Structure 1
């Protein structure tokens, strides 16, 4: 058996475990899901499972990493485009990532409950740093292009990229706090919209964009989230 065939088989089996884990996390919740659930669903041994993942948390991290890789594949064609202006690139990146979340809404909400649990603070920090490492260079590239085109005025593209990710992380925190605190009731959609608008305003200031450009482009996304969460 050639090396390429072995790699393909390994990837295929590993992805099969991740697919089942994603389904159970969505339907049962991460805490309620057990490795035994996965073994029974795939008819594999415990040894086979540990060949691919050393622990349940390693499985979760791999699943989040796979989602990150999928998101990166959506972003890369936008960043590398030679025809698209920088501001259009930035707006498009936000739009495709937002759409990706909306298309996987059940999994996103399931991850929220795990991601922001107090006992997973270290895990969350590791994933945040991994996300910065993955996305900051692409954002910095767009920002650098924008400064050359005169639509962004920040002289610090690398730092601005990290600030953007930090602001989006904070938006995630506050959104989860609001949604999970009011999970048994109707969420305060107007408050969520306000949080999004405040983040858009802060991002515009970090980049030195024309005021309102980002918030205006996000208005359609706000409307979609309102419909999904209502």
Structure 2
């Protein structure tokens, strides 16, 4: 007789596995994390575990999708708002990303070192691939609208959206190194100026690949950047 599966219980346990895996990735790193670590945290047998995931890479694939789905949710109301112009949507897209980062700044400050460790290189690649796959259509829709409105002039909206996301990854990697250098070198003023300049250059690049009629993205000033690091504890 076939085993009856309660879909709600199954989904809840699967989410629990992914939540534990996410915490272990952020504390130990993906390469050092084992399936046994997950089983120990949850109190689950290996036989039960394999009803949800066949392998550790399968956990990673599902975890990456979970992370990106959660990150994507706040963006959807902005992208699909029929009242907003393309420029306002793109501003809103980046502003939403910044608000999310600002709300989690203490956590991000603790995470950045382990996230960019070699142990998480495969996770970073998987996340980047998922970002391109999931967010490129959102940006493509905005860019296409901007072309219709006459504010963007790129002939290749889909490819332009991917370029914007690739540039964002490069900026993120640069910013992470600068964030780590604050603790290592102690020259906060110079590092904060570099961070502000990096954001400005990224905004310039995005506007140029869009063929924007005029500058429209926000460039954070030094005081704004400084506020990003005021977590109360940088240890």
Identify whether the pair has TM-score above 0.5, normalized to the shorter chain. Answer: yes
TM-score, length-normalised on structure 2? 0.79
Aligned to 1:68: 68
Q: Bigger relative contact order, structure 1 or 2, given CA contacts below 8 A and separation 6+?
A: 2
Q: TM-score, normalised by structure 1?
A: 0.80
Selected match of 1:213 from 196, 204, 216? 216
Q: Deviation of residue 108 (structure 1)?
A: 4.4
| Alignment partner, residue 38 of structure 2 | 38
Aligned with 1:189 (options 174, 183, 192): 192
After TM superposition, the structure 1 = structure 2 runs for residues 100-115 of structure 1, keeping only pairs within 5 Å, are: 100-105=100-105, 108=108, 112-113=112-113
Q: Following superposition, which runs of at least 4 residues in structure 1 exceed 6 angstroms of deviation?
A: none
Query: How do 1:1-230 and structure 2 match up within 5 A?
Result: 6-26=6-26, 28-30=27-29, 33-105=33-105, 108=108, 112-113=112-113, 116-118=116-118, 121=121, 124-180=124-180, 183-186=183-186, 188-216=191-219, 218-219=220-221, 222=225, 224-228=227-231
Superposition deviation, residue 99 in structure 1: 2.2
CA distance in 2 between counterparts of 1:83 and 1:131 reads 26
Compute the displacement of 1:120 (Å): 5.4
- SS of residue in 1 equivalent to 2:62: helix
CA distance in 1, matches of 2:20, 2:69: 18
The superposition leaves residues 155-207 of structure 1 with CA deviations (integer Å, 9 ceiling, x where unpaired) of 22112111100110111121223334555454622212211111111111111
Q: Describe the shift of the 1:190–1:157 C-alpha distance in structure 2 as closer, same or farther (beyond 3 A).
A: same
Structure 2 residue ranges without an equivalent (≥5): none
The alignment covers a number of residue pairs equal to 226
Root mean square deviation of aligned Cα: 3.2
Query: Matches of 2:83 and 2:76 in 1, distance apart?
Result: 14
